[in-house]
A and B are shown apart, each in its own frame.
Chain A
């Protein structure tokens, strides 16, 4: 049964919320397109033409494609293999395995990059203890495209994993059983039945990983800039940082180029996802669980040591760096110090401010978006599905385009004083908040719409029958039922916003630094120990949020928390 159409008070609320969504998502992107294509109100592709014919741009675009394709390929390899392992075999401790496997996606890329820099650099405590550290002064082995591909692949592997796991969950069991009846062994079934059927899922996941890699700023900024290896994202950053707002038209054109690459990838992903839905019929049941037998111990060992290698070891290196007084000092009981943490949390104004800024920005964005998402999702549930899809698409836009693109769009929109109010948000902390509201809207909206889809519309109708008006229904019936999912969505927003660097790197000003920004500045200034301390705190906050939201897991709509198996 369809949900009831809306009346009176609800219409006003709904119209307001829709207006907000359009204002936050559509207007900035449209403004960006206008600046790139018609900077003076008239169609003028001169800037775009210059950009397209610049060798530096072509070089950066080539680099972007190279590392993104490489990262996506690695992500497919890792993500698909892990999804097959978790979905099809009787491997033990799946929950903690998945939780750990998802972590690289949740931990900020700049933190990951910093951890790996600390792990493998000439000053690595670990490598020096083993006596295999690169010679002091030599180039860091991770600087350059190879290191970028490695970290992009690790970061994006969970994205592929999620796509393939979803595909495997929809795998018709009878297709596998028919192969078993025909006498095929598990490995043969995987090769000849499961993998061919999963190709659309794998490709769709890979496409998402590709798009995610294109927009990634933290990894190429930390590993590319020191090696002079420029991708489109860092090129935009450097142009804007170097030339200021005078370069706006040029970076707008660059951003449009980047956004187009990303949107093409997403369109391809949508097409692949639709193909997948056609291929897999409705006969879905649980996927088979093959016993690994004697191999099980070995496979589990491989998984855990792999995770140890890419998670625990870099993080340990980060912690080790954070606990010594200066870079290059080895961690011994005598050298052990908590001074770095004290320094970044209490003494150093910029980092202290950054933690406060990031926490309050993330919390404000989370609360505001959840408060918006519940009535918006509720109203959408009663509307035509075409409107639902349109709003879903619009809300996805600022999340799908690379963060730098959104940041440039926000600058273009908010540089001049706001109409009516007469004040400019540019170079205040508010522009970052607006950008976060735009970028993370989807993360708050999606869990609410998912949860509402799982609620019987008659529960709302029963409240109407009882005489409850719109506001009361939202407060007493809808809100309590979607609360767990809405809160989980809010936590995701907090997590992403707190760890965010890409957007704020372009929007920050003195006084409105974020954690990501100070981390970047400290690293660039060579203060490795303080940077490590900031990164450790960021990881602890991230982990804490993930564990906290796990407490909600049983009451949250399925699929809201990505790290829930």
Chain B
């Protein structure tokens, strides 16, 4: 059963459609990442689920319970949805234990049971013994954990995370990401995680919803998102690589199509029912290989970016100098800007036409 169901949800702020006709199902226990550039409406989507915004159109259900719709609106305080805010939203006038225990006190818990549950939440996020501190005395990472512990203590079945790592130092992010994964295991809650960082999204989520311009462009498992982006926007936003223009001349039953590209014809993966005609092709760095002269197509090296063990080479095909292909080579291979390489495509993906 779905934990969160959005159907044709829309939210406008003045002339801006922040969320535009979004339908989405998050399964119970699932970890869904919502990925998109800033201003794409992903935070608004989260606030709609939490109940901090009321949709202009569509319905939102938590489990079987409709919480937002034209005829119903359940206030956020009655939704029992946990949220980790970008600013952590720890109350400065309460101790750490006071912050964590707040939802429990709202539920009329008191005394020893309250203390026990607060301590358990503190233990779970590795902050044992820090209950008496003030939020101001904690580091960024510790505040983050307090925010997580607060959701843990309230036993929310659904936890929303709004760019939780955005305010942390780079070196802390990997650790906090692991912490969030552990939180998920412990709480068995459904997680909706909003981020603009694709490494975060692809690394930890079961599925990723890519948003742009207020719309969900694609929802898929990370690998599927990477290998079979449904449109050019997703293809450009998720993962490295290039989108090149080619033409499908023929399609085959085995999920491939014949594509004319860079002056040659290639067998490239395609969606079922792909028709003939001009298309966009998604080419990842690992799809491009260097071949001996006389094979493949010629391309001139535009840039060389040394990255330790491997080097990223950007090259423009002679037949299509407006396109830049990037490929990754071992750093021991001598490649210099201006040199001519002979390249071949070993894989690729025909982006389905809309």
Interface on A for B, CB 8 Å cutoff? 1, 4-5, 7-8, 456, 458-459, 461-469, 472, 476-477, 480-481
Contacts and interface: CB of A to CB of B under 8 A. Distances in A.
Contacts of B102: 463, 466, 468, 476
Nearest to B79: A465
14 contacts: A1-B47, A4-B76, A456-B87, A459-B89, A459-B91, A461-B52, A461-B85, A461-B89, A462-B91, A466-B102, A469-B77, A472-B106, A476-B102, A481-B91
Interface string B80-116: 1111011101111100000000110011000000000
Contact of B150 (A7, A8, A464, A466): A466
Nearest to B153: A466
B80 A467 contact: yes
Contacts, number: 70
B238 interface: no
Contact of A464 (B54, B77, B91, B107): B77
Interface string B32-59: 0000000000000001001110100000
B291 interface: no
B83 A467 contact: no
A17 to B, nearest CB: 20
Given A458-B87, A466-B154, 7 more contacts: A4-B52, A458-B85, A458-B89, A462-B85, A463-B77, A465-B77, A481-B91
Interface of B: 47, 50-52, 54, 75-83, 85-87, 89-93, 102-103, 106-107, 150, 154
Given A5-B54, A458-B87, A465 B81 contact: yes
Contacts of A456: 87, 89
A467 B91 contact: no
A418 B276 CA distance: 85
Nearest to B50: A465
A129 to B, nearest CB: 56
Nearest to B47: A1
Contacts of B79: 465
Nearest to B85: A458
A464 B102 CA distance: 11
A467 B103 contact: yes
Nearest to B76: A464
A465 B83 CA distance: 7
Given A461-B52, A463-B102, A466-B150, A477 B83 contact: no
A323 B106 CA distance: 60
Given A7-B75, A477-B91, A466 B106 contact: yes
Contacts of A459: 89-91
Contact of A467 (B50, B86, B87, B106): B106
A157 to B, nearest CB: 37
B265 to A, nearest CB: 52
Report, nearest first, the 9 A-B pairs whose CB atoms are least far apart: A466-B103, A462-B89, A458-B89, A464-B76, A480-B93, A458-B85, A467-B106, A464-B77, A465-B83
A468 B91 CA distance: 14
Nearest to A467: B106
A467 B85 contact: no
B149 to A, nearest CB: 12
A243 to B, nearest CB: 56
A8 B79 CA distance: 15
Nearest to B93: A480
A7 B76 CA distance: 10
B145 to A, nearest CB: 15
Contacts of B51: 464
Contacts of B91: 459, 462-463, 477, 480-481
A465 B76 contact: yes
A481 B77 contact: no
Nearest to A468: B106
A481 B154 contact: no
Contacts of B50: 461, 465
A464 B75 CA distance: 8
A468 B77 contact: yes
Contacts of A458: 85-87, 89
A459 B76 CA distance: 13
Nearest to A473: B77
A467 B77 CA distance: 4
A555 to B, nearest CB: 10
A463 B106 CA distance: 9
Contacts of A466: 77, 102-103, 106, 150, 154
A459 B107 CA distance: 19
A507 to B, nearest CB: 40
Nearest to A3: B52
Nearest to B78: A467
A464 to B, nearest CB: 4
Contacts of B103: 465-468
A463 B52 CA distance: 12
A480 B91 CA distance: 10
A2 to B, nearest CB: 9
A468 B79 CA distance: 11
A189 to B, nearest CB: 40
A481 B93 CA distance: 7
Contacts of B90: 459, 462
Most chain-A Cβ atoms within 10 A of its Cβ — which of B52, B78, B90, B107? B52
Contact of A481 (B76, B80, B92): B92
A477 B102 CA distance: 10
Contacts of A468: 77, 102-103, 106
Nearest to A481: B93
Contacts of A463: 77, 91, 102
A466 B77 CA distance: 6
Contacts of B82: 465
A461 B51 CA distance: 10
A543 B80 CA distance: 50
A461 B92 contact: no
Nearest to A465: B83
A105 to B, nearest CB: 32
A132 B77 CA distance: 75
A255 B78 CA distance: 52
Contacts of B54: 5
B76 A461 contact: yes
Contacts of A476: 102
A111 B215 CA distance: 67
B279 to A, nearest CB: 41
Nearest to A6: B75
A3 to B, nearest CB: 9
A456 B135 CA distance: 15
Contact of A461 (B83, B93, B154): B83
Contacts of B80: 467
Given A456-B89, A477-B91, A467 B52 contact: no
Contacts of A480: 91, 93
Contacts of B86: 458
Given A7-B75, A469-B77, A481-B91, A464 B52 contact: yes
Contacts of A472: 106
B143 to A, nearest CB: 12
Nearest to B159: A465
A456 B106 CA distance: 21
A480 B134 CA distance: 15
B75 to A, nearest CB: 5
A180 to B, nearest CB: 37
A7 B72 CA distance: 13
Contacts of A4: 52, 76
Most chain-B Cβ atoms within 10 A of its Cβ — which of A459, A462, A463, A468? A462
A469 B105 CA distance: 12
Contacts of A469: 77
Most chain-B Cβ atoms within 10 A of its Cβ — which of A8, A465, A467? A465
Most chain-B Cβ atoms within 10 A of its Cβ — which of A7, A464, A466? A466
Nearest to B83: A465
Nearest to A479: B93
A472 B107 CA distance: 12
Given A472-B106, A477-B91, A481-B93, A462 B83 contact: yes
Nearest to B75: A7
B184 to A, nearest CB: 18
